[in-house]
A and B are shown apart, each in its own frame.
Chain A
Amino acid sequence: MNSFKPWQELERLRNDMDLMLDRYSGTTPWRLAFLPGRGARKYPQLNVIEDEARYEVEALAPGVDPDTITLSVQDNTLTISGEKKPAEDLRPEDYHRSERSVGKFVRSVQLPDHVDQDKVKAKYREGILTVVLEKSEAAKPRQIPVEVG
């Protein structure tokens, strides 16, 4: 089914442009497969996947204290916040290497359609936060039966 969906195509193009700008405005122009150095770019990095009934948002956030993760949904915007806590009782001179960034973060992502606020599920496994958001009924594609007279 490769039907032409102009609005979806435009949206995709816009997202691609955003992504491209995001990429080139950072310190490294190529794709990084993991969390880069501190403060280099938006954190956490997100993947957004869509199917007919839901959106799936994946956030790359290893080492975040699960108790600090909060999610909020309003209309079509998902906001993720949390804290990656530093190791305790350490003096700066104890460090030989410090490449992992720590601290509080907050990030919002706008989804193309409204979602049902009561049907948001999230899990945090292997350092990846996965949020599944059901589309609101109005946003779901509906099949209209055709009467044959």
Chain B
Amino acid sequence: MAEIEKTVPEVAEGAAARGESTREGELYAMPPVDIFEKEDALYVLADLPGVKPDGLAVNVENGVLTIEGKVEREEKAGYLRREFALTSFYRQFRIAETIDTERIKAALKNGVLHLTLPKIERAKARRIPIET
């Protein structure tokens, strides 16, 4: 059980920006995510509305998964109602050593990032021959 617990990516609280200005003066939002686990892999879904594939960067460095999505839009005039404004997204997760970072896959569809984080194939139990 403890092992399963270890595969849960944790938010690096200090690193995840929630509507805060960064040094570049740009506003970032923390995208909502679903994380679920199947036998072979961990799956992350993140809502990134307005992010185009070339504005998206997914990195793994030192066991930290970073999702960064830039939104570029022309400013429009003549708003009668304005309930949302699109901002860029940023969020980080700590991922466990049991994830095979080489085989992480990412796809962007309908404004949702789909990440597949395959688990490392567990070393099989091996019988050690005893020399006599």
Contacts and interface: CB of A to CB of B under 8 A. Distances in A.
Interface of A: 11-12, 15, 18-19, 22, 30-37, 42, 45-51, 55-56, 58, 60-66, 87, 90, 94-101, 109, 111-112, 124, 126-128
Contacts of B84: 31-34, 45-47, 58, 60
Contact of B110 (A33, A62, A100): A62
Contacts of B82: 19, 47-48
Contact of B19 (A18, A33, A94, A112): A33
Task: Provide the main secondary structure of the chain B interface.
Answer: loop
Interface stretch (B47-55, B58-66, B97-105, B121-129): B47-55
Interface in B24-68: 27, 29, 31-38, 42-43, 45, 47-52
B33 A97 contact: yes
Interface of B: 8-9, 19, 27, 29, 31-38, 42-43, 45, 47-52, 76-87, 89, 110-112
Contact of B34 (A60, A100, A112): A100
B78 A95 contact: no
A34 B31 contact: yes
Contacts of B52: 126
Contacts of B76: 49, 56
Contacts, number: 131
Nearest to B73: A128
A109 B81 CA distance: 10
A100 B9 CA distance: 16
B35 A95 contact: yes
24 contacts: A18-B81, A19-B81, A34-B31, A34-B87, A34-B89, A35-B47, A46-B84, A47-B83, A48-B80, A49-B80, A62-B47, A62-B49, A63-B45, A63-B47, A87-B45, A97-B34, A100-B33, A100-B47, A101-B32, A112-B80, A124-B110, A126-B110, A127-B110, A127-B112
B100 to A, nearest CB: 18
A34 B32 contact: yes
The 9 tightest CB contacts between A and B, nearest first, are: A127-B111, A62-B111, A127-B49, A99-B32, A45-B83, A63-B112, A48-B81, A62-B49, A97-B35
Given A34-B87, A35-B49, A98-B34, 19 more contacts: A33-B84, A33-B86, A45-B83, A47-B83, A49-B80, A60-B84, A62-B111, A62-B112, A65-B110, A87-B45, A90-B36, A96-B42, A100-B34, A126-B50, A126-B51, A126-B52, A127-B47, A127-B48, A127-B110
